[in-house]
Amino acid sequence: MLEPTIKPYEYSYITQQVTTLVSAYLTLNDQRMRQITLATTLERIIPLLPDQDPLAREFLQGLQALPPKRQAALDLLQTLQPLVIPFAQPTPKQLSKLFRKVKKLPQPNWAALNLHELTYLGWNDGGNQKKYLVAPWEDRLIGIQGDFAPQTVKGVCAICHTIGNVSLFTAITKRNGVTGYTRQGNYICRDSAQCNRQLTDPQRLQDFLTVVRPSKGR
């Protein structure tokens, strides 16, 4: 096996494509239409896979023989995870440095997270109605904290741009050339792990960070 080369958001995209393929199989009885759908899926996925990697070849062979069963698709996708670059898990000390003003920083529930599915890290502090985000920015990780409303509504997430269960995230930022602070409110997914699974375009995350991150370091 080669070194992991697939980024988590690319893995999310592959997952969505495979899921769509199975859904099509379940609704299409025409074999010709199934083959067209498979060909389209392969055309979209193959450029994201490392050339000549045995796991990638096995995945593609499995995809071409995939039965119209959702569990079979999930099992097949699991075989691809060793080729995904996992999110680099920060230590508690590193997290503390990212959130210096937080005296008692709650830690993420690492046991419940799949690092291969994380483009960014997000976790909730329900007791204090806070949310913490750790995300890549240029050549480093940055930490962003904000108030997180307890109310959940159906809406479009500002990070993954998918309709789902979202809550209002309000970050306080200080802008260059502006006296005082600005409150930036955006609706984002209540469940950051689910948000990551739906995030297929990293630019959407970068656009969100541009709005909510502190001005220091611009």
Using the structure block, give the residue that is written with the tokens 């096995």: 58
Instruction: Write down the domain spans for the chain.
Output: 8-83, 92-212
Confidence class of residue 217 from pLDDT cuts 50, 70 and 90? Answer: very low
Helix, strand or coil, per DSSP, at residue 40 = helix
- Please state, in angstroms and rounded to a whole number, the distance separating the CA atoms of residues 12 and 200: 6
Architecture of the domain made up of 8-83: Up-down Bundle (1.20)
Mean pLDDT of the residues in the chain:
92
Collect all residues with Cβ–Cβ distance below 8 Å to 108 and sequence separation of at least 6.
Answer: 121, 123
pLDDT average, residue stretch 78-87: 96
Q: Which two tokens stand for residue 38?
A: 């498979």
pLDDT of 182: 73
Q: Which two tokens stand for residue 81?
A: 């995870």
What does the pLDDT look like over 95-146, one tens digit per residue? Answer: 999 999 898 999 999 999 999 999 999 999 988 999 999 999 988 999 999 9
pLDDT of 183: 77
Collect all residues with Cβ–Cβ distance below 8 Å to 36 and sequence separation of at least 6.
Answer: none
State if pTM tops 0.75. yes
On whether the CB atoms of residues 130 and 146 are closer than 8 A, the answer is yes
Given a cut of 90, whether residue 172 has pLDDT beyond it is no
- Please state, in angstroms and rounded to a whole number, the distance separating the CA atoms of residues 153 and 165: 6
CB atoms within 10 A of CB 155: 16
Collect all residues with Cβ–Cβ distance below 8 Å to 116 and sequence separation of at least 6.
Answer: 8, 11, 81, 84, 85, 86, 87
Q: Is the dihedral of CA 180, 185, 190, 193 positive or negative?
A: negative
